[in-house]
Amino acid sequence: MKLNQEINRRRTFGIISHPDAGKTTLTEKLLLFGGAIQEAGAVKNNKIKKGATSDFMEIERQRGISVATSVLGFEYKNIKINILDTPGHKDFAEDTFRTLTAVDSVIVVIDVAKGVEEQTEKLVEVCRMRKIPMIVFINKLDREGKDAFELLDEIEQKLNLHVTPLSFPIGMGYDFKGIYNTWEKNVNLFTGDPRKDIEETIEISDLKNPDLDQLIGESAAETLREELELTDGVYPEFNREDYVKGDLQPVFFGSALNNFGVRELLDCFVEIAPSPLPKMSDSREVKPTEDEFTGFVFKIHANMDPKHRDRLAFVKIVSGKFERNKPYLHVRHGKKLKFSSPNAFFAEKKQIVDEMFPGDIVGLHDTGNFKIGDTLTQGEELNYRGIPNFSPEHFRYINNADPMKSKQLNKGISQLMDEGVAQLFTLDLNGRKIIGTVGALQYEVIQYRLEHEYGAKCSYENINVHKACWIEPEDEKNDEFKEFKRVKSKYLARDKQNQMVFLADSVFSLQMTQQKYPSIKFHFTSEY
Ligand code: GDP
């Protein structure tokens, strides 16, 4: 049946890394293999360069680019691949977490010299908790870096993964000779010519084959044989089931810049990476093969053109076929919506299409109906879970700086929060609004966008908050909870969903409060 075929040939994934490890370069090479772009440099770099005159102006400029790189779709060997962009900048970590709810697998890029870095640790932890299948790509082998075994150890320990190499480097940096591919059982010699997009590989199915000594020299061949024997002894044999369950992570080595080891990665990826997986909703697990369409919003891009208040909501299709002009239920609003110009994403462009399948991302024009996490169905009342808010790191009061424009300000704040730019908390005591963000950059972005898109002006005022905790009382009516509400009233606020939040002003006061009210649960994410 057509739906099944379409599902089986889809691979939707994200590439995660610490900035500068080579995510953009690898993305670009993958697109080259798919024939989606003709030349290197075609994928705009959407990262925020430090030291740019103004970081937030840079963000504005990048926002245009990131619409184009949000979803990069292409075909390779009759497999439809969708790469979902994940910003590497730590101030946008929440965007990345949300995007990870829409991927079926990830590729983790690690710099051979720098090893496991901070952002990699955080992002991999999220993937590990969600049991997302991961492939590791160790990049920049053309440079001097850490010893392969040392790196594999570091990955296991720092990232808490269970790895098995599917390729192995022959030398490194100046002495880098190539890669032995244990998956395909062949040797790929490094020439350092990035223009080659089809690499020549030499079949060496038996490592004892003397051709190997000819190819890479006797001593390198000897070392390789020893090292591969060692990997056989130390690392488990690759097993696809364990990989798909998130219990085993295959590792590849290469150099994205030189387009080396990338084809091997891609070939293995299309073979082993899972096609769209079932997803839990609040009422049941939904299978991609079900006839009825369901999907959820994981990202919103807004107001690229300030003259049109237009937003693009990115919906991951979980089940069934999405059709243009067919009415779908917006579950949170309880109303049906039709979309006359749904967009599909291809590398560098989007295009209106009539139908799309599970795994695909559809871009829907929206005038303010959607917020992140919303579910669309064919009529069933179900909601997809798993797009939690985390406690922000920064908090400030937001004040209206132009009393004539309070309506615009409120609308602007509300829409920016729906987009997931930041979180809004309203104090119980006096109704004052507090904006919480992951990075300090977002305050400038919000101020700028309120002014340019909504014609409103705001100012900020410092507030001493360390963490926001979502409050779950054992019993709303017990005395302990009543006392907590009375004593801590100054620190209590509501998030946008009207959930109760405790704004702790220090680590110490949070600990004291937790000790004093043992029956109350303090959560660091909005979904518990
Ligand atoms: P991102 O921040 O993870 O997207 O990283 P980029 O793809 O922008 O790469 C960061 C820098 O590393 C750029 O200057 C790239 O040219 C460089 N780079 C990427 N891959 C390689 C590689 O395989 N070898 C070397 N030597 N440099 C690389």
DSSP string for residues in 223-246: HHHHHHHHHHHHSPPP-HHHHHTT
pLDDT class of 208 with cuts at 50, 70, 90? confident
Is the pLDDT at 40 greater than 70? The verdict is no
Is the pLDDT at 1 greater than 80? The verdict is no
Please provide residue 253's backbone torsions phi and psi, each rounded to the nearest 5 degrees. -115, 150
**What's the rounded mean pLDDT across residues 318-339?**
96
**What's the rounded mean pLDDT across residues 178-203?**
76
- Give 21 Cα–ligand 1 centroid separation in angstroms: 6
Percentage of the chain exceeding pLDDT 70: 90
Contact (CB, 8 A) for 310 and 304 = yes
Is the pLDDT at 512 greater than 80? The verdict is yes
* pLDDT given at position 440: 84
Residues 6+ apart with CB under 8 A from 489: 428, 429
The domain segmentation of the chain, as residue ranges, is 2-172+236-272, 279-377, 394-523
Pocket test for ligand 1, best of 20, 50, 258 (most atoms within 8 A of CB): 20
Query: Residues enclosing ligand 1, CB less than 6 A?
Result: 17, 19-25, 45, 47, 88, 139-140, 142-143, 255-258
Task: Judge whether 279-377 and 394-523 match in fold.
Answer: no
**What's the rounded mean pLDDT across residues 272-278?**
96
**What's the rounded mean pLDDT across residues 346-368?**
89
* pLDDT given at position 61: 59
Q: Determine the Cα–Cα distance for residues 390 and 122; give it in Å rounded to an integer.
A: 13
- Give 18 Cα–ligand 1 centroid separation in angstroms: 11
Q: Please tell me whether 49 is known to bind a ligand.
A: no
- Give 40 Cα–ligand 1 centroid separation in angstroms: 13
Per DSSP bridges, beta strands 349-352 and 294-302 are: unpaired
- Give 23 Cα–ligand 1 centroid separation in angstroms: 7
Q: Please tell me whether 24 is known to bind a ligand.
A: yes
4: which 2 tokens?
A: 């099944």
Q: Please tell me whether 197 is known to bind a ligand.
A: no
Pocket test for ligand 1, best of 25, 65, 176 (most atoms within 8 A of CB): 25
Is the pLDDT at 411 greater than 90? The verdict is yes
Q: Which CATH architecture has domain 394-523?
A: 2-Layer Sandwich (3.30)
Percentage of the chain exceeding pLDDT 90: 64
| Closest atom of ligand 1 to CA, residue 88 | 2
Q: Determine the Cα–Cα distance for residues 370 and 360; give it in Å rounded to an integer.
A: 19
Pocket test for ligand 1, best of 257, 259, 260, 262 (most atoms within 8 A of CB): 257
* pLDDT given at position 139: 97
- Give 136 Cα–ligand 1 centroid separation in angstroms: 16
CATH 3.90.1300.10 describes domain 2-172+236-272: no
Q: Mean pLDDT score of the chain, rounded to an integer?
A: 88
Residue nearest to atom 17 of ligand 1 (CA): 22
Contact (CB, 8 A) for 294 and 318 = yes
Q: Please tell me whether 111 is known to bind a ligand.
A: no
Residue of 448, 428, 450 lying closest to 502 (CA atoms)? 428
- Give 176 Cα–ligand 1 centroid separation in angstroms: 17
**What's the rounded mean pLDDT across residues 259-273?**
93
Q: Determine the Cα angle at 101 with ends 99 and 105, to 5°.
A: 90
148-188 confidence digits (pLDDT tens): 999 999 999 999 999 999 999 998 888 888 999 888 888 88
Q: Determine the Cα–Cα distance for residues 151 and 158; give it in Å rounded to an integer.
A: 10
- Tell the residue number behind the tokens 């097993």, with chain if given: 239
* pLDDT given at position 49: 45
Residue of 77, 481, 3 lying closest to 266 (CA atoms)? 77
- Give 341 Cα–ligand 1 centroid separation in angstroms: 37
156: which 2 tokens?
A: 């296991």
User: Among the CATH numbers 3.40.50.1820, 3.10.20.30, 3.20.190.10, 3.40.50.300, which is that of 279-377?
Assistant: 3.40.50.300
69, 73, 74, 75: CA torsion to nearest 10? 160
* pLDDT given at position 52: 40
Contact (CB, 8 A) for 167 and 252 = yes
* pLDDT given at position 142: 92
Q: Please tell me whether 140 is known to bind a ligand.
A: yes
Q: Please tell me whether 388 is known to bind a ligand.
A: no
Residue nearest to atom 6 of ligand 1 (CA): 22
Residues 6+ apart with CB under 8 A from 477: none
84-142 confidence digits (pLDDT tens): 988 777 777 778 888 999 999 999 999 999 999 998 998 999 899 889 999 999 999 99
Of the listed ranges 25-39, 51-65, 236-250, 379-393, the least confidently predicted one is 51-65
467-477 confidence digits (pLDDT tens): 999 999 998 89
Asked if this assembly's ipTM is beyond 0.90, the reply is yes
* pLDDT given at position 67: 54
Please provide residue 261's backbone torsions phi and psi, each rounded to the nearest 5 degrees. 85, 0
86: which 2 tokens?
A: 């994940």
* pLDDT given at position 48: 44
Who has greater pLDDT, 444 or 434? 434
Task: Supply the DSSP string of 447-513, one letter for each residue.
Answer: HHHHHHHH---EEEEE----EEEEEE-S-TTSHHHHHHHHHTGGGEEE-TT--EEEEESSHHHHHHH
Q: Please tell me whether 22 is known to bind a ligand.
A: yes
* pLDDT given at position 350: 81
